[in-house]
Amino acid sequence: MIRFRPEMMIRFTFRLALILLLSAGLAGFDQPSVKRSAVERSGRGWVQRLECSAPVREGGKLVLRAHFGSVEVKAGASDRMECKDLQERLLAYLYEELPAEDRAVCDAHLAHCAQCQSELEKTRRLHHLLSERPAEEPSPALLVECREALSNALDR
């Protein structure tokens, strides 16, 4: 599974907005080359700059604004989580494998969602039950058979 950090989503959304803007009416230029806070576009002997702002928080969204001449592009990614988003991250949350910012968004969602709290508790109980069971070791005969099969496959 691919995990996206909020800053990755902002970059993707912003680039998508740029592509849509450029394809809508600013044709005839080379592809943009991104440089930290600006995109330079050259064509027909002149340079146009796309000035980008730092991400800011607006109503629960991280928003990136850009100005290309007189045109403003605004792209953002929500930092609010839906139940289905938490379900996809539940095991990573349980095993504490999420980055700190993703974990904070999950914590905020869990603070007010009884359904997801219940699902997390069920998953914790299942994990506990599975960890209580003794681990079954493969038989020595199975190990020998697997090693022989691997050796034969590598020899081919």
CB-side neighbour CA atoms (13 Å) of 109 = 25
pLDDT digits (tens, 9 = 90+) for 9-18: 555 555 555 5
CA end-to-end span of the chain, whole Å? 33
Interaxial angle between packed helices 83-94 and 100-112, expressed in degrees from 0 to 180 and rounded to the nearest 10? 120
Answer whether 13's CB lies under 8 Å from 77's CB. yes
pLDDT digits (tens, 9 = 90+) for 46-76: 444 555 555 555 555 555 566 555 555 554 4
What is the rounded CA–CA span in Å between residue 17 and residue 70? 16
What is the rounded CA–CA span in Å between residue 135 and residue 138? 10
